[in-house]
Amino acid sequence: MAYGPMGFSLLEGAAPTFGVSAFDSQPLFPSENWRLCNPASGEAPADCATTHPLAWTDIWITNHILMAVIGAILVIAFWLIVSHKPQVVPSKRQWAGEYVYNLLRNGVGREIIGENYHKYVPWLVALFSFIMINNLFGSFFLVMFPTFSVIGFAWGLALLSYLLYNYVGIRKHGFFRYVKNMIVPNDVPGPLLILIVPLEFLSNFIIRPITLGLRLFANLFAGHLLIMIFVVGGSWLLTYTEHNLVYNVAGALSLLISFGLFALELLVAYLQAYIFTVLTAQYVASAEAESH
């Protein structure tokens, strides 16, 4: 069965668009093999993936990749616009840019990283801006899907932050001293190190990047899924044709609640961008610290 706007089933042969199928990456230029293995009816040969391999464009040029690219372009455009011809008395657009920049520079970089924060501010600003824009896609009517509801994007950013703070620590302390600082806490009795060292290694080198990406993905995925349930379910109940007034009233209430959920998603979009940026700064600070 195919799904159309907001997840309703469509006639046989119709292509999936929004709602349920929004979570699926769709190639912008599908190859013949992709069309064969992904028919609208949902019926495909069992060995299709083996006998009809996908083209690279089916994997790398998709709707979600396009969203990420558009998000990056919007971030670049925003900062170019707000920084164009700066004045002593800032205009409204310059003030908006300075407000966001100072929030990240002073409230995150300087407060968390410390005296060497300047060199990390560009990354923190770019990171926050990119996550924020892509999160807001979930409330934008032409898209209605946050990019980071696809976990690969969240883990991609987490990997970049992971590489950054480990590089910072290794560059400052050297490989072996950095690893020692991260897994051997100060003033821990010797016998306890047998238990503490493996836990610290897992926490700092394995769990951190996983939870960093998973937190961003889970919040955006759950929020979008919840809104979809209320909108799809509410629409179905509201248009229920078996003369059941209770269903119709419940559908109307469900749609009203969905507006509140959209407002909540705006808050979640900001909070998750901010939290991801703060945690990245915290991990950089811990990598630069002399002891753990």
Q: What angle do CA 217, 67, 1 make, to 5 degrees?
A: 75
240 Cβ contact list (under 8 Å, min separation 6): 247, 248, 251
Q: Kindly report, residue by residue over 231-252, the tens digit of the pLDDT.
A: 888 888 888 777 678 888 888 8
Asked if the model's pLDDT at residue 115 lies above 90, the reply is no
Type of residue found at 122: P
Kindly list the domain boundaries of the chain, sorted by start residue: 71-288
Higher pLDDT, 57 or 132: 132
Asked if the model's pLDDT at residue 117 lies above 60, the reply is yes
Angle between helices 151-173 and 175-183 (to 10 degrees): 110
DSSP string, the chain: --B-GGG-B--TTPPP-SGGGGGS--BSS--HHHHHHS-TTS---TTHHHHSPPPHHHHHSBHHHHHHHHHHHHHHHHHHHHTSS--SS--HHHHHHHHHHHHHIIIIIIIII-TTGGGGHHHHHHHHHHHHHHHHGGG-TTT-S-GGGSHHHHHHHHHHHHHHHHHHHHHHH-HHHHHHHHHS-TT--HHHHHHHHHHHHIIIIIIHHHHHHHHHHHHHHHHHHHHHHHHHHHHHHHT--S--HHHHHHHHHHHHHHHHHHHHHHHHHHHHHHHHHHHHHHHHHHHHSS--
Measure the CA–CA gap between 260 and 158, rounded to whole angstroms: 30
Please, are residues 109 and 124 in contact by the beta-carbon 8 Å criterion?
yes
Find where tokens 């007034």 sit. Answer: 245
Angle between helices 92-104 and 63-82 (to 10 degrees): 110
Whole-number average pLDDT of the chain: 85
Q: What is the pLDDT of residue 16?
A: 39
**Which tokens hold the place of 210?**
């996983």
Higher pLDDT, 42 or 140: 140
Least confident of 16-30, 65-79, 182-196: 16-30
**Which tokens hold the place of 157?**
């950013």
Q: If you count them, how many residues does the chain have?
A: 292
Q: Kindly report, residue by residue over 136-145, the tens digit of the pLDDT.
A: 998 887 888 8
